[in-house]
Structure 1
């Protein structure tokens, strides 16, 4: 494929990742962001869907903004394999030539995207947290953390197409569903055989998680070094459970071994934007703030009145979490509502 003939590439594609027939949440975010990009450069927003009889997902993709859905239906795509999905996406891109491809930075996306970029001999920016269109020439400006999160780098792909990036889940606004929207379905024909796939999925084992994933939580109660030890997370979990939320953590507490890395919030962890973020004993390093400052309501509890976390907080409480949090828990147990406690609906 001649991917240097830039003018022959049109459209924004979102890889519609699905697992066992269910779209992953990041796809809805990518459709929302993809619509903004497509509108700026005057092209269609399209979704690329691959799987085994997942036709029921097509209306959902259209209702969330896709003008077209490119669909590959094959029993060999029932479970994700690098070889199978890479071949069908590569062939679709070669035939239909999108200028931008957005892929979620999930386990599957991080496996698939570099394989596709290599096959197409184009660039790939991984783990983006911001996407924009250059107003002068229409190039995709892809921003991601660099040097351990100490600075933000904006990367472009000026000479080849498509422009590809993986996008960190939880950083973009989700698309708004419009049940009246209609779109086109393109049945993509790809000759896929068992010989093309070098791995066989024997079984899928799901591990039950005892906490809500950070990107799915409406309320996050996060702990920093101010909780003093790993047992402090037990107190925070009690508050999170009452609120129907989940636990987050600063990088320092993860590095100290107090909590699993999957709970880390920040540029080098997970970027979140819940409705309520309660920061307990977190000073507010720039890397942490970048990962949660777009939350709806931010509540900070810290003994240091000059802590940077208070600069982004909607509500600040100067005090020891071991005095403040138990009081919050008791008030909530007595029937108080969180919005009443902080006087904001």
Structure 2
């Protein structure tokens, strides 16, 4: 047979899923791995979805998404961050943030364009750059610096082929929230070299130690920034698959053009549920965020008490402790912890070279399970 697409064939399977496929076959496993809320979607949001089904809202919507939902998204960004996006031609609804990332990169990149990606980073970033014909250029961040991005390190990676910088804040896997000064320095660098910025802000509501900065609101950023967000994490709506893009009109128009041929529209029922989420679910979100914060403080304190240095995660729902004191590399640590103590974590190096010597632990699980995981991890470390 003739060969298949070489770029896709060269892309390895997700390193996150490997361990959880193994864990699924084992008994009594505490999973600290998959980045999914353990909360059920708030009832008022589910009820809106049920109402939509019962009343026959099962058709296509416009390609860009329901006008009411786009209006609410832009109004929400304006209220929380002072953002100024036109819901008519600068906002579109996507089938989750994953599709939004894919659309943005396809629109921004030509074949061979380079995209600088600070790492450790979400596992989809580099494959999506490659699928869009681009070349990912990873640059390191350090746990000692709280995984803050150093603009000078980014500057050193810029070449004549550099087209964009892609980053997430709050970050998966580190939980790092990029300080405003860091983002301002990146905007200045982007202006200097005429670069686009792609900002994955899916965890924007999940911040605990400082305010989130919406990258598109910084001076000089708006006309070169694509902001990605959605409902999966803070609203516990992973399976509904609703995300959004806010971007300059020229970029948003082309994103809609790709979207209309590949996805057509996000699910109608899900969009109506998202309308309810923005109109009436703020209290539900606040309750979930408070619970994550409580878990975060207990879990990070526990990791440090059993001898694992852990940078303070300012957002999302991940801790990224160093396991160098164990004498094991990340993959060996995760494999042995799973088989010996039935605790599933993700090796840090699947998120990039800077993740070696760390593991990702999601605290989006019930507090008693987190406490039991700490007991098991302590027992594992004492045996080493």
Select the structure of larger CA radius of gyration: 1
Report the structure, 1 or 2, having the larger strand content: 1
TM (normalized to structure 2)? 0.31
User: Relative contact order (alpha carbons < 8 A, sep ≥ 6): 1 or 2 greater?
Assistant: 2
TM (normalized to structure 1)? 0.34
Report the structure, 1 or 2, having the larger helix content: 2
